[in-house]
Amino acid sequence: MPRLPVIPVRQVELEPGGLSISSSQIIEDYRTAYRSRLMSLTGTREVRTARATFVIFGDGKEVAEVAMAREFNPGDFRAGYYRDQTLMLATGMSDLTKLFAQLYADPDPAHEPASGGRQMTSHFATRLLDEDGEFRQLVKLRNSSSDVSPTGGQMARLLGLAYASKLYRHEPALADAAERFSVHGNEVAFGTIGNAGTSQGLFFETINAAGVLQVPMALSVWDDEYGISVPNRYQTTKSSISEALRGFEWDEHTGSGIDIYVVKGWDYRSCRIAYHEGISKVRRTHIPAVFHVVDMTQPQGHSTSGSHERYKSRSRLQFEHDFDPIDRMRQWIESLSLLSPEGLDELEAEDERLVRACRREAFEDLVQPIHRDLNKARALIGDLAVRMGGPPKLQAQLRSLANPEQVNRKLVHSAVVQALIASRGDRSDAREALLAFKDSYERENDRRFNSHLYSESPQSPLRVGHRPPSYSKTSELVDAREVLQRCFDHNLKKDARIFIVGEDVGKAGRRQPGVPGSQR
């Protein structure tokens, strides 16, 4: 292995008398951003060569995300969208091999823990429960809620996560329940959304609610001036979401509102300062913040389903080339003489080898069990063909499994079924063995692809025993609303983590008579 360059030990002052960071931290952030970019490029090639079906990556967002990741602490939560691969890498909530496993939709949760290959690529999540279905010590972990596909769908979840921190800070009854979830409500809920997603109603509802509730929500808007092919001027008032939100800015007289920060996505120094100052304030004061990160780029366009060269002007494409955040960060590092161009080249070459190795590992993890089942199926069909004298229909099924590179589980199952149909009059041990393989294979795949559609833990609502109602001659006759109210009272007393919120809840909540007088 080539010897890597030595990184000089020194502190870099990002602002006079303000944030100071180490040279090694800067280089580490650069390498994380560079590796993420390599993954985006590699993943796109995998789609072009038909090893994957579709990708939508976060290239162009890398520098802002490594800056934000530096403020993401254990106990914090993410509720974002499909551009956040760099954040997942930088926080350790995922790694390159796991992200490639997601690209290939590997159904093994050990390889792809976000969803076991069941969600769209770049839909991130961390495991919140242990093997017994109990919550892990989330306060000691960096956490991500599971992404949802509808644009803006993450916003309500983001608000709820932030609201939980406020409740843990201000509600004494939650002290006993906080052990796994919170330390005095110091946890921040980090959200991300694209500039086009800010046109959704859920976005504005969440901003308004956060400003009223005063919760530790830190929302970053990645603004590359387009929503797929639609420019900002056609979907955002004033062509700027931060300008459109000025009426929401925090007001000390009313004690409500949000803080707004605007920063350029290619400027590592400015991003580090903005996120350091902004997240520290959010964590301390619970005043929510929006980080409008402008001048973002999309080097490969929106996704592999289109080409941005078809709708972006030459000047815009040139801007995206000139202000690529990876290139800009490298230029800044060189200007500080933290490493020579040759030293950076060596680190980049090492990272390129790492990304290639992680891709190979993820792909091998995917295909090895398929090839194992393929070889077993071919052997069983071959034995049956020999037993029956090599009929053409069985030979055809063997040929369908001849090329391992083109075989998947569906083809293996189809070949086995067709072989059984072709041999339906045979009563040999060879056919019985093939039939047993089919039954086992179907059970295994049913578990692989259909398990955990509902909770299978001891806490599953499906495990709650049936208790029929019982009445006596002295049973009280009451309205159904009173039955509901007593159920609410019982559960609210039983578990301090349960709370009810909404416009129709409270002393004047006539539309919901099941919970009268619950507002305090």
> Looking at residues 458-483, what average pLDDT do you find?
88
Those residues whose C-beta lies under 8 Å from the C-beta of residue 339, and which sit 6 or more positions away, are: 5, 7, 8, 27, 333, 347
Antiparallel, parallel or unpaired: β 20-22 and 11-13 = antiparallel
pLDDT band at 513 (very low <50, low <70, confident <90, very high): low
Angle between helices 392-400 and 341-387 (to 10 degrees): 170
> Looking at residues 231-244, what average pLDDT do you find?
94
Candidate from 11-20, 348-357, 364-373, 430-439 with smallest mean pLDDT: 11-20
Which pLDDT does position 1 carry in this prediction? 57
- Residues comprising the chain, all counted: 520
Tens digit of pLDDT for each residue in 427-469? Answer: 999 999 999 999 999 999 999 999 988 888 888 888 888 889 8
Which pLDDT does position 508 carry in this prediction? 57
Candidate from 10-14, 217-221, 264-268 with smallest mean pLDDT: 10-14
Q: Tell me which of 128 and 511 has the higher pLDDT.
A: 128
Q: Using the predicted structure, report yes or no on whether residue 418 has a pLDDT greater than 60.
A: yes
Q: Using the predicted structure, report yes or no on whether residue 505 has a pLDDT greater than 80.
A: no
pLDDT over 90, % of the chain: 69
Tens digit of pLDDT for each residue in 184-194? Answer: 999 999 999 99
Q: What is the mean pLDDT of the chain?
A: 91
Candidate from 6-15, 39-48, 449-458 with smallest mean pLDDT: 6-15
> Looking at residues 225-249, what average pLDDT do you find?
93
Question: What distances in angstroms separate CA 109 from CA 85, 112, 125, 506, one per listed residue?
Answer: 18, 5, 12, 44
Q: Which of 56, 80, 57 is nearest to 68 (CA)?
A: 80
3-state secondary structure 320-341: HHHCCHHHHHHHHHHHCCCCCH
CA 188 to chain CA centroid, Å, is 17
Enter the tokens of residue 239.
């062509």
> Looking at residues 59-81, what average pLDDT do you find?
97
Q: Tell me which of 499 and 264 has the higher pLDDT.
A: 264
Which pLDDT does position 51 carry in this prediction? 86
Domain ranges of the chain: 11-339, 374-450, 476-520
How many CB atoms are located within 10 Å of the residue 284 CB?
10
Tens digit of pLDDT for each residue in 328-353? Answer: 999 999 999 999 999 999 999 999 99
Q: Using the predicted structure, report yes or no on whether residue 27 has a pLDDT greater than 70.
A: yes
Tens digit of pLDDT for each residue in 269-297? Answer: 999 999 999 999 999 999 999 999 999 99
Q: Using the predicted structure, report yes or no on whether residue 91 has a pLDDT greater than 70.
A: yes
Which pLDDT does position 453 carry in this prediction? 87
pLDDT band at 510 (very low <50, low <70, confident <90, very high): low
Q: Using the predicted structure, report yes or no on whether residue 98 has a pLDDT greater than 70.
A: yes
Which pLDDT does position 195 carry in this prediction? 94
Q: Are 75 and 183 in contact (CB under 8 A)?
A: yes
DSSP 269: H
Which pLDDT does position 168 carry in this prediction? 95
Which pLDDT does position 173 carry in this prediction? 87
User: Reduced to 3 states, what is the DSSP secondary structure of residue 22?
Assistant: strand
133 torsion bin: left (phi>0), alpha (psi -120 to 50), beta (else): left
What is the Cα–Cα distance from 207 to 7, expressed in whole angstroms? 43
Which pLDDT does position 516 carry in this prediction? 57
What is the Cα–Cα distance from 462 to 452, expressed in whole angstroms? 12
What is the Cα–Cα distance from 238 to 473, expressed in whole angstroms? 70
Q: Using the predicted structure, report yes or no on whether residue 309 has a pLDDT greater than 80.
A: no
Q: Using the predicted structure, report yes or no on whether residue 324 has a pLDDT greater than 50.
A: yes
What is the Cα–Cα distance from 276 to 293, expressed in whole angstroms? 14
pTM: 0.92
Q: Using the predicted structure, report yes or no on whether residue 87 has a pLDDT greater than 60.
A: yes
Q: Where do the H-state alpha helices sit in 84-153? A: 85-91, 96-103
pLDDT over 70, % of the chain: 96
Which pLDDT does position 132 carry in this prediction? 85
**Helix, strand, coil share of the chain (percent; to 5):** 50, 10, 40
Enter the tokens of residue 323.
């202000």
How many CB atoms are located within 10 Å of the residue 330 CB?
19
CA dihedral 248, 249, 250, 252 (to 10 degrees): -100
What is the Cα–Cα distance from 123 to 451, expressed in whole angstroms? 19
Quick one: fold of 11-339? Rossmann fold (3.40.50)
> Looking at residues 112-120, what average pLDDT do you find?
93
Q: Using the predicted structure, report yes or no on whether residue 246 has a pLDDT greater than 90.
A: yes
Question: What distances in angstroms separate CA 362 from CA 3, 36, 51, 359, 449, one per listed residue?
Answer: 27, 16, 12, 5, 19
Question: What distances in angstroms separate CA 141 from CA 92, 128, 417, one per listed residue?
Answer: 10, 9, 46
Which pLDDT does position 515 carry in this prediction? 67
pLDDT band at 520 (very low <50, low <70, confident <90, very high): very low
Which pLDDT does position 133 carry in this prediction? 86
> Looking at residues 398-416, what average pLDDT do you find?
91
Q: Are 245 and 290 in contact (CB under 8 A)?
A: yes
Q: Using the predicted structure, report yes or no on whether residue 305 has a pLDDT greater than 80.
A: no
Q: Is 298 exposed, middle or buried (0-12, 13-18, 19+ CB in 10 A)?
A: buried
